[in-house]
Amino acid sequence: MSIASFSAISSHELFIRRKRQFVTRAIQKPSTSTTSTEQLPIQPESDDHHSWRAISGGLNLPSTISNLLHLSAAPKALPVSFDHDQTPIFSPKEDICSLRSAIHGPVDWSPLLDPLHPSLRREILKYGEFAQATYDAFDNNPVSEYHGCSLYGRSRLVPLLGLSRHGYSVTKYLYATSHIDLPQWLLRPLLRSESRWCDESNWMGFVAVSGEAETRRIGLRDITVAWRGTVSPSEWLEDVQSRLEPLPCADDDGALVEKGFLSLYTSRSQSSRFTHSSASEQVMRELLRLVEFYKNKGEEVSVTITGHSLGGALALLNAAEAVSLLPADVRITVISFGAPRVGNQVFGDMLKRRGVKVLRVVTKQDVVPKVPGVVFNEGRKGKGWEWVYTHVGDELTLDVGASPYLKRGVVDIAGFHALETYLHLVDGFERAECRFRAGARRDVALVNKATGLLREELRIPACWYQPENKGMVRNEFGRWVLPRRDPEDIPSPCAEEKLIPSSSSSYS
């Protein structure tokens, strides 16, 4: 089973919004009990036990799937208070500069993971929200003339998505292309006869820098790179390629990474206005410029790279290149969510040897971190195992069953993989095998932005996050049309370059 099957399903834009009928499939053997305190949202169409046995081929299929995905149908009581809409959703931001060596520096952070240190939890959520922004700002409307780019200009993304409290400013947008030749009907929907965007390119994320207040709070200047997960058809097809090939920037010839991920990171297209240079060249040019600027000011600098799903894979490739090109005293950190395996054991050993700190946030029920390499995975070393995938870094393992807010006993592949589900579980995590923490503040409703995982008692609609009237507005003649974009939100390579401050500017 390929990474594409799940990475594409996981996209809350491509599959959840356009094909919602595939989002939730509950697989549960009909209950014979009349005292159950929780009704499953979807029951098998037939209550006939013989037909159920025939469908499952004589096997207990529901139990098999439940065991595989660590599901439990046992009901959990919702928190006593239902006034979740009457409490603040953010914890106060404390000064963590004394922890900079542990969180953003060279000190191993594994002692902070179990129990999860509150300050580290807040930092994980901060970077997770940057990764979520790459989905929320992506224009995936197939009839939009800017389909495939960001909905907002660089200066507007942070405030419009409610991220100003984090204290970062976006300095660069990142774009990627694919080497795969796609049929025209797949690239451009029939309803869109003219595009002001480039069908060969896709907006993949951004580079942001901490402002003065945030820099003082965390104790150093932090440069963040956020990579988006799979949304577009070309990215989906790239994911299909589950072959390993040598990593160009590796200092070891034995370091191998997945071909499709590497292609998206390193491909360029002369026919595209936005990918004359590859995503790799774009991000490294910006990182080198920013690091030089702040180090010349005498500041301590860290680079934190984040992403979800495919974005987590790109984050590892970005980190491998950054550690080979940036000064040795710049700390490189990766915080990924639901990321697949990227390379072999030699690749992982190379990152560890060169001091890259990697934290993989995974959910037991999510299948994406289990691929590529479902059959052969961790622990295979020595001659003959060079082509086996393995994970990198520390793992923070979450469990859907720990949250009393989520439905029980359902199989929702997309919901388990959704980034908002991850952030909800991080907010409630204290230590392994412990209940959801009482002090969790993140808005529970966000889980249902693109899924239907929340229990019906909460009365939060499934897949509620969408533009009003699907973005249509009335023009001066009273006709319904797609609105014209604000000039600041129109993608333009020339405008982008002009908006980026030179090294003589300062960021705040």
Residue 351 has a CB neighbour count (10 Å cut-off) of 23
Distance CA 477, CA 483 (A): 13
Q: Does residue 178 register a pLDDT over 70?
A: no
What mean pLDDT comes out for the span 417-427?
Answer: 96
Token duo for residue 365: 């029920």
Hunting for tokens 């509620």 — which residue is that?
Answer: 464
- pTM, rounded to two decimals: 0.79
Q: Does residue 294 register a pLDDT over 90?
A: yes
pLDDT confidence of residue 400: 94
How far out from the chain centre does Cα 183 lie?
Answer: 28
Residue scoring higher pLDDT (154 or 471) = 154
SS (H, E, C) 3-71: HHHHHHHHCCCCCCCCCHHHCCECCCCCCCCCCCCCCCCCCCCCCCHHHHHHHCCCCCHHHHHHHHCCC
pLDDT confidence of residue 484: 86
What mean pLDDT comes out for the span 35-64?
Answer: 40
pLDDT above 90 covers what percent of the chain?
Answer: 48
Cα separation values, 326 from 303, 310, 318, Å: 10, 24, 12
Distance CA 479, CA 488 (A): 25
Q: Which of 222, 366, 412, 427 is catalytic?
A: 366
Domain layout of the chain by residue ranges? 97-186+193-442
> Is-catalytic flag, 427?
no
Angle made by CA atoms 203, 176, 353, in degrees to the nearest 5: 115
Question: CB–CB of 225/315 below 8 Å?
Answer: yes
Q: What is the pLDDT of residues 15-45, one digit of tens each?
A: 334 434 333 333 333 333 333 333 333 333 3
Most confident by average pLDDT, 228-232, 257-261, 428-432: 428-432
Question: CB–CB of 279/269 below 8 Å?
Answer: no
Question: CB–CB of 280/268 below 8 Å?
Answer: no
What mean pLDDT comes out for the span 326-346?
Answer: 94
What mean pLDDT comes out for the span 227-254?
Answer: 71
Q: What is the pLDDT of residues 350-362, one digit of tens each?
A: 999 999 999 999 9
Distance CA 40, CA 128 (A): 30
Q: Does residue 141 register a pLDDT over 70?
A: yes
Residue scoring higher pLDDT (183 or 136) = 136
Residue scoring higher pLDDT (319 or 107) = 319
What mean pLDDT comes out for the span 190-202?
Answer: 56
Helix axes 279-296 and 259-266, enclosed angle (nearest 10): 60
Q: Is the backbone of residue 463 left (phi > 0), alpha (psi -120 to 50) or beta?
A: left
Q: Does residue 191 register a pLDDT over 60?
A: no
Q: Which of 309, 391, 403, 443 is catalytic?
A: 309
Nearest to 337 by CA among 20, 65, 7, 4: 7
pLDDT above 70 covers what percent of the chain?
Answer: 68
Task: Report the range of poorest mean pLDDT among 22-31, 58-67, 374-383, 408-417.
Answer: 22-31
Distance CA 430, CA 118 (A): 8
Secondary structure of residue 65 in the 3-state scheme: helix
Task: Report the range of poorest mean pLDDT among 82-91, 143-152, 407-416.
Answer: 82-91
> Is-catalytic flag, 253?
no
List the CATH code of the domain at 97-186+193-442.
3.40.50.1820
Q: Which of 10, 417, 427, 443 is catalytic?
A: 417
> Is-catalytic flag, 308?
no
Distance CA 282, CA 274 (A): 10
Secondary structure of residue 359 in the 3-state scheme: strand
